[in-house]
Amino acid sequence: MLNKMKKILPLFMISLLLLCAGCDKQDISNMENKGNNPPASSTENDSNVKNNKSISTSDQSNSNGQNNQSGQVTEMKIKVYYPDENGMNLVGVDRTIKLDDKNDKYTAAVKAVMIPPTEKKLTSVIPEKATLIEVKFMDGTAFVNLDKNIKDGFAGGSTGEEFLIGSIVNTLTEFEEVKEVQFLINGQAVETLSGHMDLTEPIARMNDLIK
């Protein structure tokens, strides 16, 4: 019996060694295959990052291009109203205003009427030092915000106040969507300019002043 085991044991050891050698070769083969083919996720992620950066830059360029185009200047013809030299009526004259990203049509219209007329027999009662702060339009009402010089520099009486207000109101209501005008001084509601007209409420078009 002992002799048989002595004969079988060497054969068993040889078989075990051969089996272990085969496993090592398989492991080495797997490692070599992994080395030759790097993980796809790494290269794909790098590619995706580059592509995403490229798309982002392209979108930003397009956005900037659109913003640059918004600065274009356009022109519009409007009618501006001035008092006649006799203080009897408001007279409408044609003006061409320029619109850009800082001046919409309402702002440009008020700025136009604040410039003294060049036509003979027409005048202006708006104080020279008066400055327009802004014009906002909402729900049919144009809110005209002027600085305090519109009031401090005004030297006219009841007729002058009426024509000052009427020239701005009638100019703005030339735009069909503007139904009335609310006056503000430095962003605050004002009761009157010189005590003759109630400005606490919006003023509608003053057709009775137009010649």
DSSP one-letter string for 167-211:
HHHHHHTTSTT--EEEEEETTEE-S-SSSSS--SSPEEP-GGGB-
**Beta strands in 56-205, from DSSP E residues, in sequence order:** 74-83, 90-99, 132-138, 141-146, 180-185, 188-189, 203-204
In contact, 131 and 120? CB cutoff 8 Å: no
d(CA 62, CA 60): 5
d(CA 76, CA 71): 16
With tokens 């089996």, the residue in question is 19
- Which tokens go with 189? 């509601």
d(CA 73, CA 109): 15
Greatest alpha-carbon span in the chain: 146
For residue 12, pLDDT beyond 60: no
> Which residues touch 39 (CB under 8 Å, ≥6 apart)?
none
pLDDT of residue 152: 94
Query: pLDDT by residue (tens digit) across 60-77?
Result: 333 222 233 467 899 999
Backbone angles phi, psi at 64, to 5 degrees: -65, -35
Lowest mean pLDDT among 2-6, 12-16, 180-184: 2-6
**Beta strands in 65-131, from DSSP E residues, in sequence order:** 74-83, 90-99
Q: Which residue pairs, CB below 8 angstroms and at least 24 apart, start in 60-65? A: none
- Which tokens go with 167? 């020239």
- Average pLDDT of the residues of the chain: 78
Query: pLDDT by residue (tens digit) across 77-128?
Result: 999 999 999 999 999 999 999 999 889 999 999 999 999 999 999 999 999 9
d(CA 194, CA 162): 10
Q: Residue 41's Cα: distance from chain center in Å? A: 42
In contact, 144 and 104? CB cutoff 8 Å: no
180-185 and 188-189 strand pairing: antiparallel
Q: What percent of the chain has pLDDT over 70?
A: 66
With 0.75 as the threshold, say if the pTM is over it. Answer: no
